Chain A
Amino acid sequence: GIQVEQSPPDLILQEGANSTLRCNFSDSVNNLQWFHQNPWGQLINLFYIPSGTKQNGRLSATTVATERYSLLYISSSQTTDSGVYFCAVVNSGYSTLTFGKGTMLLVSP
């Protein structure tokens, strides 16, 4: 099956810093989603982005499908950004999400 690798596995930031999270995948995809799992365990949809670039406030994401990677940018990080960020993809020919192992982000005040 498709492999999804996220980097870095852990990230510690000071409040106000910027960061870039990366997601590499091993095959072509029809769907790519970024999620934030907050400290209470909720999975929050951030972006549905099988290709191109999207922005939502301080967050933006870019997927280059031909090169099989996606990037999530967090600018001016806040403590509420802490949690685990997951990238998940749907391989062409399938319909279920395959998740990466996540990036654990801690933003300290």
Chain B
Amino acid sequence: DTAVSQTPKYLVTQMGNDKSIKCEQNLGHDTMYWYKQDSKKFLKIMFSYNNKELIINETVPNRFSPKSPDKAHLNLHINSLELGDSAVYFCASSQEWDPSYEQYFGPGTRLTVT
């Protein structure tokens, strides 16, 4: 009964390819997020969705396109992968679009671009 799940857990691909990472939450939350953790372990917000609508896009290259088919899912599609995209991507969710609610994180997807 995993609360926030991501697939795949590991993704190894070559430069120039297109790949997707999927995220699902079974908590009934309205808000979902994508965070990126770089090689120095620094975590930073990429996108935030509330009720399937994009709320925040933190100056992420437009090669990254999130999609939320419903409130329980937030997928991340990346076009024309570059070496610098190698990172761990974390999905998270919170009950509402309100800063006072706790955020719950998925297990992460480690993306390696060769």
Contact = CB atoms under 8 A, between A and B. Distances in A.
Interface of A: 29-31, 33, 35, 37, 41-43, 45, 48, 50, 84, 86, 88, 90-99, 101-102
Interface of B: 31, 33, 35, 40-45, 48, 55-56, 58, 88, 90, 92, 94, 97-105, 107-108, 110
Given A30-B99, A30-B100, A92-B99, A99 B42 contact: yes
Nearest to B94: A95
Contact of B100 (A41, A50, A97, A101): A50
Contact of A99 (B31, B43, B98, B107): B43
Given A84-B41, A95-B48, A96-B48, A45 B98 contact: no
12 contacts: A29-B99, A33-B102, A37-B41, A41-B88, A41-B110, A94-B99, A95-B97, A96-B45, A97-B35, A99-B42, A101-B40, A101-B41
A42 B105 CA distance: 9
